[in-house]
Amino acid sequence: MKSKIITREQAAALRQTYKSSAKRVGYTSGVFDILHPGHVEYLEAARALVDVLIVGVNSDLSVRGNKGPSRPINSEEARVQVLAGLSSVDHLFIFGERNNNINVEVLKPDLYIKAGDYSTETLSSKNIVESYGGRVELVPFHQGLSTSSVIEKIQIAAISDAGQRIEYKPAPAVFIDRDGTINEHVEYLSDPKRFVAIPGSFAAMKKLRENGYRVIVVTNQPGIGLGYFSLEDLYAVNREMMRQATKEGCSIDKIYFCPHSKADNCRCRKPGAYFIERAAQDLAVDVSKSFVIGDMTTDLKMGANAGCGSILVKTGRGGEDGIEPSVKPTYTAKDLTEAAEWIVQQGKAA
């Protein structure tokens, strides 16, 4: 098993041997921190495409750079040892770069295999692969847990065991998207200095709380899973949001975020209703009387999946994302201010 663990230079030499014997070589990479069924299925699917599968594993230092100081959970030595036990993996090596350009240049695999929702046009290594006659192959990342979701479950269990839970009285909630709804949309927002609240957002949230609604922020943050920024970057942006909210006299009951890319196929990513279900348990939310507000069709679909009313705001993407084109909002508002006013009026009418 340990014989599978080699250096990148040894992998390059083996690549030449396989090439001379006309064996098709594939290359893929990842962190593989806490191995789960999604990893196993993906690697088996990748291995089925080639005669030999070489796997690059991100070093501890590179993982900390991408995901923050709390990751990885398992050391690089432990991660490669676990992967070496899989029959789908022929060779492994550890690398420290943030992308695979050097790995692809050195190995020149017949297939450069990536997981999930990447577009080949966005891959920095695509031109390198095609320059020597190789091909990029995208393999869906099926039905897997993510490492982040496993860690989250452990943390929740630890918190639950540490002390008594607060008992909340049942109340409706408004689940509000962050980027493009509360603040101006910035692609992969990671710098708190770029957090700019849309005028009236915090006053609108304050009004909702004053009228008996819990205010809960639910946001997809796939940039974490894709390695564009870290959890610490997200926390910094959220702290800035909370600072500005507090200055405006607004309290936010809870912030839920999904750190995964579409490739992870997780439960918590919108349009899934996982966080609404969580809020029903965590905060005694009456889902039937609750609403979702957002600028994307995935927000509206989350509301539909949970059985909530949904309000599309024309800020941010304004519903032009095209991801869930068939879903229709309960109401369309100019911004969060108008959406909050409409919800309050519905509550008074009821």
User: Is residue 60 situated within a structural domain?
Assistant: yes
25-30 vs 291-294, strand pairing mode:
unpaired
| pLDDT mean over 236-244 | 95
Task: Say if residue 61 is in the same domain as residue 195.
Answer: no
Task: Say if residue 111 is in the same domain as residue 181.
Answer: no
Task: Say if residue 215 is in the same domain as residue 88.
Answer: no
More confident: 224 or 163: 224
How many CA atoms lie less than 13 Å away from 242 in the CB half-sphere? 12
In the prediction, which pLDDT does 127 show?
87
| pLDDT mean over 127-146 | 79
In the prediction, which pLDDT does 143 show?
47
| pLDDT mean over 327-345 | 97
More confident: 35 or 67: 35
CATH assignment at residue 194:
3.40.50.1000
Say whether pLDDT at 142 is over 60: no
Angle between helices 201-210 and 336-349 (to 10 degrees): 20
In the prediction, which pLDDT does 37 show?
85
- The mean pLDDT of the chain is 90
| pLDDT mean over 173-179 | 98
Last residue of one domain, picked from the residues 105, 139, 173 = 139
Give the residue carrying structure tokens 């348990």: 281
Task: Say if residue 207 is in the same domain as residue 339.
Answer: yes
What is the percent of the chain with per-residue pLDDT over 70, rounded to a whole number? 90
- The count of domains in the chain is 2
- pLDDT-derived band at 38, boundaries 50, 70, 90: confident
- The lowest-confidence range among 30-44, 268-282, 291-305 is 30-44
In the prediction, which pLDDT does 311 show?
98
CATH assignment at residue 15:
3.40.50.620
User: Is residue 227 situated within a structural domain?
Assistant: yes
In the prediction, which pLDDT does 67 show?
74
Are the C-beta atoms of residues 89 and 43 closer than 8 Å to each other?
yes
User: Is residue 291 situated within a structural domain?
Assistant: yes
- pLDDT-derived band at 120, boundaries 50, 70, 90: low
Task: Tell me the residue range of the domain where 7 lies.
Answer: 2-139
Say whether pLDDT at 159 is over 60: no
Global confidence as pTM: 0.59
Listed in sequence order, the DSSP H helices in 35-100 are 37-47, 60-67, 76-84
Token pair recorded at residue 81: 């040892």
User: Residue 71 phi/psi, 5° resolution?
Assistant: -120, 155
In the prediction, which pLDDT does 121 show?
60
Closest C-alpha to 267, from 235, 305, 304: 305
Task: Say if residue 126 is in the same domain as residue 206.
Answer: no
Say whether pLDDT at 219 is over 90: yes
| pLDDT mean over 170-198 | 97
- pLDDT-derived band at 145, boundaries 50, 70, 90: low
Q: How far apart are CA 219 and CA 316, in angstroms?
A: 14
In the prediction, which pLDDT does 84 show?
94
Are the C-beta atoms of residues 227 and 123 closer than 8 Å to each other?
no
Say whether pLDDT at 264 is over 90: no
